[in-house]
Structure 1
């Protein structure tokens, strides 16, 4: 039940749903869906990634209420969440099967989406599903289906759409134990066989699933087999045309086999030859993207390029191991792929790589080969923010009142006094942490209902700063701030996050409610917002 709740939470929290479908359009019509809770800058980023011109495609704003309307009948409201973030670019085609590319989706893959879309009744389509930063993406399927309906003007069968959603859930559940590719492979092969041979008997389907798993060296539990059989039995009862599905399912099968061979260093099967735009519909949108628009460390998968996942670090072959490492309020696994969020509760602010090594720490003697505060990898905007953070650290921690006053308005005295050695080390630790967050660009952020900020970078930074200042945790004996009172550490954390929130143009409800007396003075009238409320200036 725990695994299922994890998957359902991810399904709903990342789900894409859209408003009323538009009238029927030409076959080559294109639709972009943008999460309504993204900032304008993030929406522009996604349009740049898609290489989509708003004057040439239809753009649909996807709201959280759309998610509730669509999913509320079978997912508890509290699990649906409060924000919609994922995006999709969809173009129906006349031939070529279903082609899918994903970016910054760390839980679902291109093959999972493609095979589920075939279950939904889609036959020919190009799809790009993505987010400005890394999210699970399990619910992207629903938005893609809605965008397809809008672009093609054709309503998909509601039962088949429900089965497609269930297929993603079942695949994701099994993937927790055997890996995304293995789970997709078993269901895809079995689906081809039962639809092609019109098999509906549960015992026969059971034998098919068992044999496919055994042939692929995958061990499934009894519960997992029963769950897959139940899904496939429902699929078998629908009126599918195997000839319409054959190209997509065969391409997925070949993609999975090629990906597995590449990962194991074995000779690859005959290359997939479907990487060609559909005749008469223009360029393939799954290949015509600008990955650089999303910054560095973009994890991508593609049905047309099996090696893309491995090239970009989107590991689809290993079983998920994060089901026991989830946010307590949402059940969504912590984003630890890039090491931005520590899972061991340590407060050393290090980054853990996929191979378990760390970098940028005092304990890492190899750090001499790389300046941990080197800003060369940052964007110009990132460099400007980092310079502001340097000034803040020099003022707040190291006791330079003049510098602090140049960064933070209305400061008349230093908030705390630290030992100079501790202050210097604290500045370095905070800046090292911030530069990693800037380089990560929020890619490892997984949204949660308990988030204080809108910006992905701020939410990641907030979690990191709680670790740096040992907030809500017992401080270790060897911690840098072990001799600093808890009240002082809390004050430093509060001031630090207020500075960063102001740097990103954000405030929290706590900021505006608790500090009104401090900022609502004659000297700070510019801090008052247009609606008469007082905004935090620190």
Structure 2
């Protein structure tokens, strides 16, 4: 299948020239959605980025439950997380299709959002999807659809909204393997042909998907082919009007298409006469738009300095470049909807995942720790000249330092290396984990009930604890890995990088030790990189992770907002504030005073 050149511009130009109505209601209004878990300061920064004030827009608060309601059928709940940070500004328009701008979204792109919104039934709309910190962006679609319905007064078809969500998730999963541009191009191109030609035969649809992949230099596995084919088969059963979608689908194709730009869908090369007619129609469209345009697009009104440096941006007004996530290095990434399991690298129970360089990930695999050890020496890998092997048998230099040598440099810490107060912490956490992993024996119970810390044990033994229900061997392996991590953290303490917490971390954990321990538990039990817990329900594993986080807060005296207790690693004010560490405080208008933007409720009213 060759990609063909659209002729939609002629029809659009004619409609504009004749004054035919094409879109949004005259009383439509801009709507902003704000993630419920943002701080007031972050909400102000987002509003500043959007270039609007609270009296100019309606405001909706998007909660984690909203995201679960929209995404729960396609994304495991433990990957959705428990917090919401994505925001959006939505403005229905009268023509031009769907235009999207994104900031700080690194898994979902502007073109993915545009083409999936067309599937939801949206025809003409300007959208900005953004977050004050880097997030995956899958949750952004939830707020955008809710905002569009309020702004336009139109209720979208529930089935089409479901298909849009499914399309976004599938495109993102496909992008992990073939690339963001390629994945978007494959789905968009195949969808375009299927809808424009009213194709409903699933065999033909599968052939179209295969050809779209070939057009975009991608090789799909059978599972990937079946996944996309099934999605497009569902879409083919709905009553879409291609004329409503062509502006958006054509623009996306031009932005992400790897091969030649779109050609005619009817399979015939456009002749000179037709090209001239198209150009005339485009000129008429531009002139009509210039005469009727009374307002600058919201995409052109953003304050691009509001989020500081190292911001991933994208716009359907520009040709998409390859994988923006690899071009700049994020200080931290928030995964509102976590990446698929095969690409997810771990994180906290709220979906926050600090991106780690490859060499750190390797150390996690070999010693069980989640932080690097600066004391590990560098090894000489160059073979001495006198022992150099013949060329045909010479081993590559990088293979000469065995992995086990690296492991042997890490000391084996024991409880005897701990101070007395940290022995208490270590013992209490071990008792708790024994209950979670069902490793408490009668002998250990009796010893604890009569031992030095019997009062602490009594309190832990009375807690409501969700058990993992893993086999004994797996439970012992998990306990051993966590034990090594815990001992190292308690003996060596945290380095400056681990101690630094942004506002979101501080609000969620209260102490860096709580954050580190919570992330380790989630890595072991929720993320399950070794795939030892696949038979255990994901919701149960997430519950265990959340309960463990609450327990760690109690141990470190930061539960319920306390700041005294056992936690003494940092003096008040020592932790880096997020606004000081990541945002340029002078990059947003000082007129956005604290509390300027009141809390917004789901019905759009302000409190």
Same fold (TM over 0.5): yes
Deviation of 1:63 after TM superposition, in Å, equals 2.3
CA RMSD of aligned residues (A): 4.9
Separation of aligned partners in 2, 1:28 and 1:460:
49
Equivalent residue for 1:508? 558
Kept in 2: contact 1:105–1:136 (CA 8 A): yes
Separation of aligned partners in 2, 1:77 and 1:105:
20
Kept in 1: contact 2:31–2:59 (CA 8 A): yes
Equivalent residue for 1:326? 345
Alpha-carbon deviations, 1:162-207, whole Å to 9, x = none?
A: 0001101211121121111111110000011011111000110111
After superposition, the Cα gap between the structure-2 partners of 1:298 and 1:309, relative to the gap in structure 1 and judged at 3 Å, is farther
* 1:296 and 2:309 aligned: yes
* 1:211 and 2:230 aligned: no
Separation of aligned partners in 2, 1:148 and 1:341:
44
Equivalent residue for 1:239? 239
Separation of aligned partners in 1, 2:95 and 2:83:
35
The one of 354, 361, 376 equivalent to 1:343 is 361
Gaps of 5+ in 2: 1-23, 262-281, 329-338, 379-491, 525-552, 569-607
* 1:85 and 2:85 aligned: yes
The one of 273, 293, 297 equivalent to 1:280 is 293
After superposition, the Cα gap between the structure-2 partners of 1:62 and 1:244, relative to the gap in structure 1 and judged at 3 Å, is same
Where 1:295 maps in the other structure, the secondary structure is: coil
Where 1:150 maps in the other structure, the secondary structure is: helix
After superposition, the Cα gap between the structure-2 partners of 1:136 and 1:233, relative to the gap in structure 1 and judged at 3 Å, is same
Where 1:42 maps in the other structure, the secondary structure is: helix
Kept in 2: contact 1:102–1:300 (CA 8 A): yes
After superposition, the Cα gap between the structure-2 partners of 1:220 and 1:311, relative to the gap in structure 1 and judged at 3 Å, is closer
Separation of aligned partners in 1, 2:349 and 2:291:
41
Kept in 1: contact 2:86–2:137 (CA 8 A): yes
Where 1:454 maps in the other structure, the secondary structure is: helix
Alpha-carbon deviations, 1:288-346, whole Å to 9, x = none?
A: 2122211221111111122577788568xxxx998344327769694427x59943347
Alpha-carbon deviations, 1:236-266, whole Å to 9, x = none?
A: 11111111111100100111138999xxxxx
| Paired residues for 1:82-481 under 5 Å | 82-257=82-257, 279-306=292-319, 323-327=342-346, 334-336=353-355, 339=357, 342-345=360-363, 430-431=495-496, 453-454=506-507, 462-463=515-516
After superposition, the Cα gap between the structure-2 partners of 1:73 and 1:287, relative to the gap in structure 1 and judged at 3 Å, is same
Kept in 2: contact 1:302–1:309 (CA 8 A): no
Kept in 1: contact 2:115–2:249 (CA 8 A): yes
Higher relative contact order (CA 8 A, sep 6+): 2
After superposition, the Cα gap between the structure-2 partners of 1:433 and 1:64, relative to the gap in structure 1 and judged at 3 Å, is closer
Deviation of 1:94 after TM superposition, in Å, equals 0.6
Separation of aligned partners in 1, 2:85 and 2:243:
35
Deviation of 1:212 after TM superposition, in Å, equals 1.5
Separation of aligned partners in 1, 2:165 and 2:355:
26
Deviation of 1:76 after TM superposition, in Å, equals 6.1
Kept in 1: contact 2:175–2:182 (CA 8 A): yes
Equivalent residue for 1:49? 49
Where 1:185 maps in the other structure, the secondary structure is: helix
Where 1:291 maps in the other structure, the secondary structure is: coil
After superposition, the Cα gap between the structure-2 partners of 1:77 and 1:48, relative to the gap in structure 1 and judged at 3 Å, is same
Equivalent residue for 1:31? 31
Deviation of 1:233 after TM superposition, in Å, equals 0.7
Alpha-carbon deviations, 1:409-461, whole Å to 9, x = none?
A: xxxxxxxxxxxxxxxxx99x945677xx68xx78xxxx9xxxx6426997799
Deviation of 1:161 after TM superposition, in Å, equals 0.3
After superposition, the Cα gap between the structure-2 partners of 1:137 and 1:464, relative to the gap in structure 1 and judged at 3 Å, is same
Separation of aligned partners in 2, 1:214 and 1:457:
51
Separation of aligned partners in 2, 1:325 and 1:345:
17
Deviation of 1:36 after TM superposition, in Å, equals 1.5
Normalising by the residue count of structure 2, what TM-score does the alignment of the two structures yield?
A: 0.51
Separation of aligned partners in 1, 2:508 and 2:313:
22
Alpha-carbon deviations, 1:104-135, whole Å to 9, x = none?
A: 11110111111100000111111111111011
Where 2:90 maps in the other structure, the secondary structure is: strand
Q: Mean alpha-carbon deviation: is it higher for 69-78 or for 211-220?
A: 69-78
Rg larger in 1 or in 2? 2
Equivalent residue for 2:478? none
Kept in 1: contact 2:254–2:319 (CA 8 A): no
After superposition, the Cα gap between the structure-2 partners of 1:114 and 1:27, relative to the gap in structure 1 and judged at 3 Å, is farther
Normalising by the residue count of structure 1, what TM-score does the alignment of the two structures yield?
A: 0.57
Equivalent residue for 1:12? none
